[in-house]
């Protein structure tokens, strides 16, 4: 990009402000331009010096807002500068002001002087969050097209209460910010339901040995986040997943499975409600013909292992889906990735397939980046250069939404 992306962050007064510092640091290190303004109460939790150091730019406070020597009004300058505006932690007080258009400090004035998408990350005590007035304000502000939300989540709060009100983790906030920077806040999947399979499946020989593959589920998770951030209702059927990834499922209906049969059952159960189906999971092709209930001793392991085919999930989905549903497959390939992907596209009855090389550096299983070629039934072919998996997920959606897949007749 010829111009750096610009994120404005407004920090409210809450203990969760310390978590925002991680997001500020990560954005600045990634090359994003960051500007931060702090409310008067926020400065009781985080100092402007700390924020300025992390952002690589001076922080702003109400003292700067009321300084007449600035020249052009500061709130106008900041509002026009921002590509995306994050408010975190969002307190009940600031929520009420935003909902009703109050402007009595730098933060709220800058909101009214801006036109960019605004991401809200609430944080407060569970009883405060559940108050009728707070919930009415929350539901109302989410009807305003500019506002997007991340969280709150559930967990142990700073007050030792266990419940809803915990601010979203920095990883979730950063992912949503990156989505908003890509889409400009466009909710082109609003009102649609997206069903995604992700990760690997495991077919056990005994309780400790299994046939599987190295897929971590990162690509499927990225697709789920991208679709969620674009306004969709998302269901993610995922195989075994690391805790660090499971913690990033905020706002996504997650269905954990282990075997191919369990994944097929979960996908078929959710299929009738889905508008888009992405079969991104790396499903095991075979399973042991016999599964032992207890661990086999080394000397009892068979010299040859009889195998059986597992269900062909994507082919079954193709047979069961309606003409109005979009079915997209994935093909993890080595060598020349196009011919086998085209064969799978036609043989399985898909609308599109995403072929990605797993033998290239920084691509495939377990990586944070990926590259691919999107092949559609109508003959369209789009290459996606190496990028983060979240960026790739958005580019896949851009391609499919700009020219919908030709549906099976």
Q: Which residues are catalytic?
A: 159
Contact 78, 113 (CB under 8 A): yes
Contact 141, 98 (CB under 8 A): yes
Contact 236, 196 (CB under 8 A): yes
Rounded Cα gap, residues 25 and 170, in angstroms: 10
Rounded Cα gap, residues 238 and 44, in angstroms: 42
Rounded Cα gap, residues 238 and 246, in angstroms: 10
List phi, psi (to 5°) of 328.
Answer: -120, 130
SS3 assignment, position 353: strand
Contact 8, 110 (CB under 8 A): yes
Rounded Cα gap, residues 179 and 394, in angstroms: 8
CA angle 407, 370, 372 (to 5 degrees): 35
Rounded Cα gap, residues 286 and 297, in angstroms: 23
Helix (H) or strand (E) run with residue 21 in it: helix 17-29
Residues facing 356 on adjacent strands: 332
Contact 377, 344 (CB under 8 A): no
Tokens of 272: 């009738």
Contact 350, 344 (CB under 8 A): yes
Q: How far is CA 216 from CA 202, 219, 315, 365, 404, in A?
A: 12, 8, 23, 6, 29
Rounded Cα gap, residues 51 and 374, in angstroms: 41
């Amino acid at each position: 990009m010829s111009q750096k992306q610009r994120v404005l962050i407004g920090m409210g007064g809450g203990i969760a402000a310390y978590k925002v510092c991680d997001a500020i640091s990560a954005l600045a290190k990634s090359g994003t331009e960051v500007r931060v303004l702090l409310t008067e109460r926020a400065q009781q939790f985080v100092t402007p010096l700390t924020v300025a150091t992390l952002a690589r730019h001076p922080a702003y406070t109400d003292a700067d807002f009321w300084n007449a020597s600035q020249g052009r009004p500061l709130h106008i300058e900041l509002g026009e500068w921002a590509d995306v505006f994050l408010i975190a932690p969002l307190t009940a007080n600031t929520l009420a002001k935003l909902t009703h258009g109050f402007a009595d400090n730098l933060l709220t004035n800058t909101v009214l002087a801006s036109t960019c998408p605004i991401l809200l990350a609430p944080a407060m005590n569970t009883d405060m969050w559940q108050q009728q007035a707070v919930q009415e304000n929350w539901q109302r502000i989410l009807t305003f097209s500019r506002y997007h939300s991340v969280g709150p989540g559930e967990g142990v709060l700073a007050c030792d209460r266990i419940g809803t009100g915990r601010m979203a983790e920095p990883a979730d906030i950063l992912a949503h910010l990156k989505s908003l920077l890509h889409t400009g806040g466009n909710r082109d999947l609003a009102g649609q339901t997206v069903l995604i399979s992700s990760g690997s499946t495991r077919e056990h020989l005994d309780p400790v040995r299994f046939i599987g593959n190295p897929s971590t589920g990162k690509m499927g998770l990225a697709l789920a986040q991208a679709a969620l951030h674009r306004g969709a209702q998302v269901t993610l059927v995922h195989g075994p997943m690391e805790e660090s990834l499971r913690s990033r499922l905020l706002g996504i209906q997650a269905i954990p499975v282990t075997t191919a049969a369990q994944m097929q059952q979960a996908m078929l159960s959710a299929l009738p409600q889905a508008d888009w189906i992405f079969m991104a999971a790396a499903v095991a092709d075979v399973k042991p013909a016999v599964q032992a209930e207890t661990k086999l001793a080394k000397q009892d392991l068979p010299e040859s292992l009889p195998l059986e085919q597992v269900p062909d999930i994507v082919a079954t989905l193709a047979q069961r889906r309606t003409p109005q549903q979009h079915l997209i497959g994935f093909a993890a390939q080595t060598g020349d990735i196009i011919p086998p992907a085209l064969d799978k596209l036609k043989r399985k009855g898909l609308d599109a397939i995403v072929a990605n090389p797993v033998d290239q550096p920084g691509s495939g299983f377990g990586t944070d980046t990926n590259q691919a070629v999107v092949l559609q039934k109508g003959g369209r072919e789009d290459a996606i250069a190496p990028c983060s998996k979240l960026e790739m997920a958005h580019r896949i959606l851009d391609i499919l939404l700009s020219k919908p897949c030709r549906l099976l007749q």
